[in-house]
Every structure is written in structure tokens, then in C-alpha cells.
């Protein structure tokens, strides 16, 4: 969502109109679920996706036409057996956004800033084309005016009721990389490109340099023995340890595995895993958490170079993220 609204803001400031396409809760079974968005300009899709393929092409063409006519509205696109595609049809709301509307410019700027800060909340679209609103986690408006009764709209999933379409803001899961060597420099931009908010942590000042990690949200130089002094880990974090020594990785794992995490991986082979696992058991770390430590980290694709290793790790993290989201009821992907 951040990229979509960053592009929208840039377009509005340049004097260009756009159409924001949002899949609604009554959409059919497809690659993207309710709340998925796509931004369309006069030349076609600018950012985001509603699933690709024939459905996205048809919706893009319709959005371009609506842009010419300076209008929005609801539209259902039939697919499946009717069009020969594997997934069901899709229903979407097309929001016409005019460049001269200061309410949209203000909302786009505030939404981008809010997501950059890791904020949660809801984007409220009025189905009559009226002014949008951005609500914070406490349901208070950050931009625009909240609906009279916004409580039913503030859900973990996309909701459509009372003439409004509410899309939950998901700033992206945080990936924390311990170690700032060659593999980390290959991994960080790859994770950022697939929607993770990246933090890099290293105890070497020469490597913990923000200039080496331009896509990272934070680059921290601090002691690996006292991570909590500089960074608070949460149960939703995706953690990868790829420090320079076995001892440093062990130090990181002792602290990371003190609680549940969404994902924990450590660079290294079976010998390193045996060493670290043995020391963790001696330190009283629960066996279940040790078993959940992914070492060797990444999918087994025969990776050798830092770039290949980064691909294998990113692929595994994307897979685990999709599984975690599906368990939480946030996404139900369709595999053709």
C-alpha cells in the first residue's frame, strides 16, 4: 500500500488524476484477496496489483476509461469458466481521484508517513465517491473525517458496509538481519522489494552503515550481547542471524529465542546448527524453540553465492509469511 500511495501522491502533486482500484469483500476466489489495490493512470497500471492476468487487464482498461470520464464506481468482472481462467471473478471499487482535491493529497501524504513509521489503521473509502478518511490504530482520524459508526469497519480484514469500504493498513512485517556482511547486503534489498520492513543490526561500525543499506528502515550499530539496549524484538518479527562467527550467532539466538517469533533463521550448516543448538539447550532454551530455528536457513536451491543465498532466504521468508497470514485469516491465496 505504501508504494501505491507514494505513487498517487507524486501523481497528484504533478497535477495528474488517477483511479484507485480496490478488491471488495464479495470478490471471487483469486490470487489476491479483498483489499488488494492497484493504481491506474491514463497510460495504464502505475503500481499495485489485483491479481494479474485477464481480470487485471480488464480492470485496468475499465479504470483508464473511467479516468477519461472522470468517474468511479463498483464493477464485477466475471471469469472462471466464462473466460477460461482458473480462479473466480473479482468485484472491485473504482475510486476516481482528482489532482485538485486537497483532501486526497493530504491523505496520501499522511498515509505514506504513517506506514513508514510502522503504523496500523484503516483507509476508509466512501462508495459514493466522497472524501476518504485515514484512521489510526485507536480509530481516531489521522486525515479526513471518520464515519459516524466506524467500529464495525475497523476489522483485521477488508469490510464493506454503510456505504464505506474499509481497508486495514498493514505496514509490512519487520525483518531483522543480524550481521551486515555480503549476504546481508544482498538480502536486505530483496526483502524490502517484497514488502518487508528491514532492520540491520551489527556490532561493527564500518559495516553498520546506512549508506550500505539504502532500502533498510533502520541500521543499528550496537553490542550483539545486549540487543535489547538498541532494539525491541516482537513476536511478529522475522529474524535472520548471519554474523561473522559461531559465537556471535549463538549470542543472537539466545536472545531471539527467549520468546516466540514469526520466523527465526541462522546462516550456516548442520555442524553450526549442532553447536548452537547444544549451547542453547545448556542455557535452558525450550526445545520447541530450538527446533523452530531454521538452519541451514533458506530453501534448498543449491545456493552458493551471497546473491543466491539471499534468494533462498527471501523465498523461505515469503513462504512462511504467506502461511502465517493465511492462518491469521488475512489472505487465502488461489493457486491456478
Report the interhelical angle of 102-116 vs 2-13 (nearest 10°): 140
Is it the case that residue 77 has pLDDT exceeding 80? Answer: no
Model pLDDT, residue 30? 54
Q: What is the pLDDT of residue 88?
A: 52
Residue 78: per-residue pLDDT: 64
Q: Which of 25-39, 122-136, 146-160, 219-233 has the lowest mean pLDDT?
A: 25-39
Specify the pLDDT at position 335.
30
Residue 93, Cβ density class (10 Å: 0-12 exposed, 13-18 middle, ≥19 buried): buried
Q: What nine digits make up the cell of 234? A: 516482537
Handedness of CA 283, 284, 285, 288 (dihedral sign): positive
pLDDT at 233: 95
Whether 249 contacts 241, CB under 8 Å: yes
Handedness of CA 46, 50, 51, 56 (dihedral sign): negative
Band of the pLDDT at 98, cuts 50, 70, 90?
very high
> H-helix or E-strand containing 121?
strand 121-126
**In terms of pLDDT, which residue wins out, 68 or 195?**
68
C-alpha cell at 240: 535472520
- Cβ–Cβ < 8 Å for 196, 174: yes
Residue 81 reports pLDDT greater than 70: no
Contact 238, 176 (CB under 8 A): yes
At residue 268's C-alpha, the angle toward residues 262 and 269, to 5°, is 115
Sequence-ordered strand ranges (E) for the chain? 18-23, 37-41, 44-48, 73-77, 90-97, 121-126, 133-136, 141-143, 159-161, 164-169, 174-178, 197-202, 218-221, 238-241, 263-266
**198 to 249, 296, 319: CA distances (angstroms):** 19, 21, 17
Average pLDDT over residues 8-34: 86
Q: Just give the CATH number of 174-327.
A: 3.40.50.720
Tell me the average pLDDT across 19-43: 84
Residue with cell 542471524: 241
Instruction: Check residue 80 and give its pLDDT.
Output: 52
> Quick one: which H or E segment has residue 65?
helix 53-69
Max intra-chain CA distance, the chain: 69
Where are the chain's structural domains? 2-97, 103-169, 174-327
Amino acid at each position: 500500500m505504501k508504494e501505491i500511495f507514494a505513487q498517487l501522491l507524486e501523481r497528484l502533486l504533478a497535477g495528474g488524476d488517477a483511479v484507485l482500484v480496490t478488491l471488495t469483500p464479495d470478490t471471487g476466489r483469486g490470487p489476491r484477496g479483498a483489499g488488494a489495490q492497484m493504481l491506474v493512470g491514463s497510460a495504464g497500471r502505475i503500481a499495485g496489483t489485483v491479481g494479474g492476468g485477464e481480470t487485471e487487464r480488464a480492470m485496468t482498461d475499465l479504470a483508464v476509461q473511467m479516468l477519461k470520464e472522470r468517474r468511479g464506481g463498483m464493477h464485477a468482472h466475471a471469469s472462471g469458466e466464462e473466460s477460461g481462467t482458473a480462479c473466480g471473478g473479482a468485484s472491485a471499487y473504482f475510486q476516481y481521484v482528482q489532482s485538485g482535491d486537497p483532501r486526497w493529497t493530504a491523505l496520501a501524504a499522511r498515509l505514506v508517513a504513517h506506514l513508514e513509521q510502522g503504523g496500523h489503521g484503516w483507509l476508509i473509502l466512501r462508495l459514493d465517491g466522497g472524501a476518504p478518511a485515514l484512521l489510526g490504530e485507536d480509530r481516531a482520524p489521522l486525515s479526513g473525517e471518520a464515519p459516524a459508526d466506524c467500529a464495525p469497519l475497523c476489522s483485521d480484514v477488508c469490510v464493506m458496509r454503510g456505504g464505506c469500504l474499509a481497508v486495514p493498513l498493514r505496514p509490512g512485517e519487520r525483518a531483522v538481519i543480524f550481521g551486515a556482511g555480503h549476504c546481508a547486503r544482498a538480502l536486505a534489498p530483496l526483502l524490502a522489494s517484497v514488502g518487508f520492513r528491514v532492520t540491520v543490526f551489527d556490532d561493527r561500525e564500518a559495516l553498520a552503515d546506512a549508506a550500505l543499506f539504502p532500502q533498510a528502515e533502520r541500521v543499528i550499530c550496537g553490542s550483539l550481547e545486549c540487543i535489547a539496549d538498541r532494539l525491541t524484538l516482537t513476536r511478529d518479527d522475522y529474524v535472520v542471524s548471519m554474523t561473522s562467527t559461531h559465537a556471535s550467532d549463538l549470542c543472537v539466538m539466545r536472545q531471539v529465542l527467549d520468546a516466540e517469533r514469526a520466523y527465526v533463521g541462522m546462516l550456516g550448516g548442520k555442524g553450526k546448527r549442532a553447536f548452537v543448538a547444544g549451547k542453547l539447550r545448556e542455557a535452558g532454551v525450550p526445545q520447541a524453540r530450538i527446533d523452530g530455528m531454521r538452519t541451514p536457513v533458506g530453501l534448498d536451491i543449491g545456493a552458493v553465492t551471497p546473491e543466491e543465498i539471499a534468494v533462498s532466504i527471501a523465498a523461505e521468508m515469503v513462504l512462511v509469511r504467506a502461511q502465517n497470514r493465511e492462518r491469521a485469516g488475512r489472505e487465502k491465496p488461489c493457486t491456478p
